[in-house]
Amino acid sequence: MSVDWAEVYRATFLELVRFLHRKVWDEERARDLAQETFARALGQEPDNPRAWLFRVASNLAHDEARLVVRRKRHLTLLRTEAEQAEADAPTPAAEMEAQERTERLRLALERLSERDREVLLLWDAGMSYPEIALETGLSAGAVGTTLARARRRLVEAHLALEEKHAARG
Amino acid sequence: MQHVDEGLLHAWLDGERAALGPARAEEVRRHLDGCAECRTRLGEARDLRDRADALLRGGSPVGAEIPPFESLAGRVPARRSRTRMLAWAASLVLALGAGWLARGAPDPGEPSARAAAAPRPAPSPAVPSAPAVSAPAGTAVVVPAPAPAVDAATARRAGPRPLPQVAARGDAPPPAAADLAAMEATPVPPPPPPPAAAPPPVAESRAPAPAEAPAAAPPGAAEGDRSGQAARRAERVAARAPSAAGADSAELPAPNYGGTLALEGLVVSGTPTLEEVLGGAVGPDADGWFSVRPEAARRLLGREPLRVRGLPLISVQAGRWEGRAAVRVRQRLEGGGLLSLVQVPDGAKEGGESGDSAVVPDAWDEAPTDHVRLIRQVGAIVVTGSAPLTADSLAALLERLR
């Protein structure tokens, strides 16, 4: 049976964006990569479309991270973001708070091992244990253990960052 | 059973009982019913999970907007927006420009020609006459041309003195063959010592057809004209991009041959079939092409394989492209980029439309993933490029090949 990509797109796009956002930390870029992922999917007939999408997205994000040279596009994005921010700006304080929250999450995730982080993000993106096992090569039984460890480390790392922030602030 | 381990608790919480299997799930349920300690741990695990989920959600807000699915239709997956290395792009433009300019330069005829001219300064009146095809200086044009061409380095070194093509006409390879002669030598031998005196330029010394175009103008005849400027520009290009400019000289990397060819050393009349060409070749590579000697590619095409002057050659290959025997010339772009020219024999039915194509004649996977990959059809030639710069920039460069 052929894959109904339009349906998968509607059901999965935002999850994919969120998943990618935790990897590239730029919503526009995450959206771009999510679209890129789906563009690559068209014409493909994977057995598990969701798993296929997340695998491709993960690879794209990984490639993205390897880029050393900053892109001009990013500068464009920043400019666009600035313009957008003027248009529908939340209060400066709220915006700053959101940015700090995002930054702390980014730093906390960085303190996880790559595997722990991947399992955590795949789970959060809505993938099941068997799907995560398939993607990461873990046994299904090990997914729970890995996820438990990843959650604990994330919470602990985040707590430490908050304390550091409070002490400084 | 023993206490439920943390992984199982999380799986239980996450509703992954199916992953546990019914027997195991039932075991866990019974244990939790009877074990207060594990129920406490289950509560702790729930707190941990909820906090982690909250952190993930709260720290990574993304808008709820979903672009229309139809918007994907206009998106070519390979075109990923990447902007980098403008200097690199500029150097490629220059290299391509040098390639064009070099087309109008005198043919080296034989390796000694380079050496003969090398000691001379190469001032502005290095005046290869402009080719009949008109194009703005600095524009790369890759079209089937009867005229052989020389690399930018040769143009730079040639100086005002025309090359001793009379010597090349008899027992040396014809000018058209001389172009790829450097590729066939592995490793490239040093050029023989320069002759004591190169023959003066006389009309009779011009190479016969198909080497008619690169006729040399008398020294100093066109000082300051466009060709003179072109030659100067080629010289600057060569100076700026030595790796590219030296492509045909001693810096040429060893060509990548897959094996010997059945045709090698045979005198064959007419155009050989692909099967004949491939008779002794080893291959194919990952994307179905066989590395062949330039001579085999030449016979298959019935003409000189086209390439961009000034870019290092990686391989000359034969294979099938859209059901036709074809030759693929691969060249290295600076920054690790790759340029491929897929060409079919003249007169073969043209296939496909201009512009982007969904068919990929190249092993895209070989290209670094941060490279933009594009494909263009230029006449009967399919040009593909992968390079670390924006799709737009690469498109512009490929566009110039038209």
B38: left (phi over 0), alpha (psi -120 to 50) or beta: alpha
Q: Pick the more confident residue, B289 or A137.
A: A137
Predicted complex ipTM: 0.76
Residue B128 — φ and ψ, nearest 5°?
-70, 135
Average pLDDT estimate for A55-84: 58
pLDDT tens-digit map of A114-168: 999 999 999 888 888 988 998 888 988 899 999 999 999 999 999 999 888 888 7
CA pair distance B282, B206, nearest whole angstrom: 39
Enumerate residues 6+ apart whose C-beta is below 8 A from A139: A133
Q: How confident is the model at residue A89 (pLDDT cuts 50, 70, 90)?
A: low
* Predicted local distance difference test score (pLDDT) of residue A166: 83
Lowest-pLDDT range, B20-34, B156-170, B309-323, B343-357? B156-170
Give chain B's mean pLDDT. 56
pLDDT tens-digit map of B371-394: 556 666 666 667 666 666 555 666
* Predicted local distance difference test score (pLDDT) of residue B23: 87
A85 touches chain B (CB under 8 A): no
CB–CB contact B62 A42 (8 Å): no
Contact present, B174 and B211 (Cβ < 8 Å): yes
* Predicted local distance difference test score (pLDDT) of residue B47: 94
CB half-sphere exposure, B266, CA atoms < 13 A:
16
CB–CB contact B7 A148 (8 Å): yes
- A95, A155, A159: which to substitute to probe chain B, counting the most B Cβ within 10 Å? A155
Please determine, for residue B46, whether its predicted confidence score (pLDDT) is greater than 90. Answer: yes
Average pLDDT estimate for B141-162: 34
A 1-20 near B (Cβ less than 8 A) = 5-6, 9-10, 13-14, 17-18
CA pair distance B172, B178, nearest whole angstrom: 9
- Percent of chain B with pLDDT strictly greater than 90: 8
Tokens of B226: 């466009």
* Predicted local distance difference test score (pLDDT) of residue B34: 94
CB–CB contact A158 B55 (8 Å): yes
Maximum CA extent, chain A: 58
**Termini Cα distance of chain A:** 58
* Residue B70 DSSP class: G
pLDDT tens-digit map of B108-147: 333 333 333 333 443 333 333 333 333 333 333 333 333 3
Residue B374 — φ and ψ, nearest 5°?
-135, 160
* Predicted local distance difference test score (pLDDT) of residue B335: 66
CB–CB contact A105 B55 (8 Å): yes
Please determine, for residue B194, whether its predicted confidence score (pLDDT) is greater than 90. Answer: no
Q: Pick the more confident residue, A157 or A3.
A: A157
What SS3 state is found at A113? coil
* Predicted local distance difference test score (pLDDT) of residue B145: 31
Please determine, for residue B303, whether its predicted confidence score (pLDDT) is greater than 60. Answer: yes
* Predicted local distance difference test score (pLDDT) of residue B339: 76
A 121-160 near B (Cβ less than 8 A) = 121, 123-124, 128-130, 140-148, 150-152, 154-155, 158
Residue A124 — φ and ψ, nearest 5°?
-65, -25
CB–CB contact B60 A105 (8 Å): yes
pLDDT tens-digit map of B216-257: 334 443 344 444 444 444 444 333 333 333 333 333 333 333
